[in-house]
Amino acid sequence: MAFESVNLQIYIYSGTSGSYTDTDLKYTISKSLIGTDSNIMFEIGELVRDYITVSFNNDYLSNTIWVSTVGTILTDLGSAFDYGSPVINHYLAFDGYGYFEDAINPQLSTDALISANTIYLPEGVAGKLPLFAEGVGKVIIDSTTTQVTDNGNSNQKIQYLTIPANSTTIKVYATDDSTLKKTINVINLCEPKFTPYKVTFLNRMGSYQDVYFFKKSIETFNVTDETYKRNTVNTSTVTYSLNETQQQRYNANATKSITLNTGFINEDSNKTIEELFLSENAWIRYDGNTLPIIPKTKSMTFKTSLNDKLSNYTVDFDFAFNKINNVR
């Protein structure tokens, strides 16, 4: 008997690893060997992503899920293989991505879930640092140590540690509490003239990350509508009223946009701005609400200390909803 095909069952669920039930079965896929191939490969990333909920209301919740796969090897007679079957694997899924240069199935950060080593915060304002709890033992912010624990539940895998206002240095250590994994500098800016806006986006690590825009902001308003010509003649009197419109407007609505400026930031922050541009999910803290936005700017010129001395990024955003509520 020869190995011919594999049936793969995919379970997607929350909770702890391996705690799936029959109701968590989301996909069953079957693939056969082709030609002289000696292995079968399944790409399940896009299938799993459909079940990762991305929702943010200034609440910083872990949005990871567990994925368990059960693979059954079949022979050319259609029966299950005699050994090694079924093959069960468990994975923790993030809504993140790797770059082309990272090669296939890259392992993203296992400690602090941000790419840059610099965080900018308004003076007197606390921040949030996303951590992969499974890979972090402790975090020292200035002189204060916080132990990070992981109970194995999917809702604990990404934890958002509060960065106290006016902190300056964050040191993230591995689970042995002695290996330094990442040092992050916190720069606190006093902005006396403009109102800083906080934009939160889903970064490439699959965590929510904040970026503040400190300088000038411009809001714009774009209206769309349609018109048709009405017949206003009164057939009884064979007259028409001068007060009635002949050109009738309908389907009027509008979208709002905002242009934000980071202010001067260092070259290390290019990573943060790049991931913001690539993010499919972003929100702005606006008038006390957390509102969805879409980065409208589609091109970016990286600025460096050598070429530009000081770097300021201007980014246009569209509010991701119509001004007049037409949600149906």
The pLDDT, as a whole number, for residue 85 is 67
Q: Is the pLDDT of residue 76 over 90?
A: no
pLDDT one-digit tens code per residue, 170-189: 999 999 999 999 999 999 99
- The reported pLDDT for the residue numbered 78 is 54
Per-residue pLDDT of 5-48, as tens digits, reads 889 999 999 999 999 999 999 999 999 888 888 888 999 999 99
Residues above pLDDT 90, as percent of the chain: 77
| Whether residue 239 has pLDDT greater than 60 | yes
Q: For the chain, which residues make up each domain, given as ranges?
A: 3-93, 118-218+254-319
Average pLDDT over residues 192-204: 96
Per-residue confidence band for 106, with pLDDT thresholds at 50, 70 and 90 = confident
Strand partners, 173: 138, 180
The reported pLDDT for the residue numbered 309 is 73
The answer for residues whose C-beta is within 8 angstroms of residue 36's C-beta and 6 or more apart is none
The pLDDT assigned to 37 comes to 82
Q: Model's pTM, two decimal places?
A: 0.90
Instruction: List, as one string, the DSSP characters of 122-153.
Output: ETT--EEEEEEGGG--EEEETTEEEE----S-
